[in-house]
Amino acid sequence: MIDLHAALEIVSRYRGDAVVIPAMTSGRHWPTITDKPDLDLALTGAMGKGSSMALGIALARPERKVIVFDGDGSLVMNLGTLVSMANKAPKNLVYFVMANGAYCITGGQPVPGHDFASFTGMARECGFKAAYEFDNLEEFATTAPEIFSGNGPVFVCLKTVPEIETRPIGQRPAFARTPEAYPRVWKALRQ
């Protein structure tokens, strides 16, 4: 299993000027890692919709790479996104699914199918240009240059250690909410 913070640090090395969409808890460490917050659109309160947001931005701005961090629970809630992404086939899209087998934001309930479903296999069968799966940080780090230099859509499933959130909502760290991030990211994309 991969430490989420360590995996996101690797992504940060290769992001360039990509728009990054950390959705729900899959990108919980991203605000402490990013060096381009003006290009980060944290999607909160919309479980399963980070991939749809990323697809829209990738289609609207084909000259800019778009990276999305999603959870396996979020993907289960919107499996149709794999078909939509593969159908539209944006070359600039990298879709990360952090598969930890749990709905971490709501207390750790198991994600249906986490012990037998292959999201990487689903992405491949839907027609993603490339699909990867890692449960080892070194293998991910070694393959990262290939992931970020190839044409998309690219699917990457990282088997991560669950970080289950048990604190009451009012006591959790507050990151930029989606409505607060829109104007900042919109301005950066228009430049």
Residue type, position 62, single letter = P
* pLDDT (0 to 100) of residue 102: 59
Residues contacting 168, CB < 8 A, separation 6+: none
Ordered structural domains, the chain, with CATH: 4-190 (3.40.50.970)
| Residues 155-176 pLDDT 10s | 999 998 766 565 555 554 555 5
Tokens coding 21: 């969409």
* pLDDT (0 to 100) of residue 23: 85
| Residues 141-155 pLDDT 10s | 999 999 999 899 999
* pLDDT (0 to 100) of residue 123: 97
| Residues 75-110 pLDDT 10s | 888 889 999 999 999 999 999 999 886 556 665 566
| Residues 101-134 pLDDT 10s | 655 666 556 667 777 789 999 999 999 999 999 9
- pLDDT (average), residues 37-46: 82
For the chain, the average pLDDT equals 84
CA distances from 138 to 1, 28, 172 (A): 11, 21, 31
Q: What is the pTM of this model?
A: 0.85
Q: DSSP class of residue 23?
A: B
Place of tokens 């859509």: 153
- pLDDT (average), residues 33-58: 86
Q: In whole angstroms, give the CA distance from residue 104 to residue 126.
A: 27
Residues contacting 167, CB < 8 A, separation 6+: none
Q: Please, which residues bridge with residue 69 across strands?
A: 22, 96
* pLDDT (0 to 100) of residue 41: 87
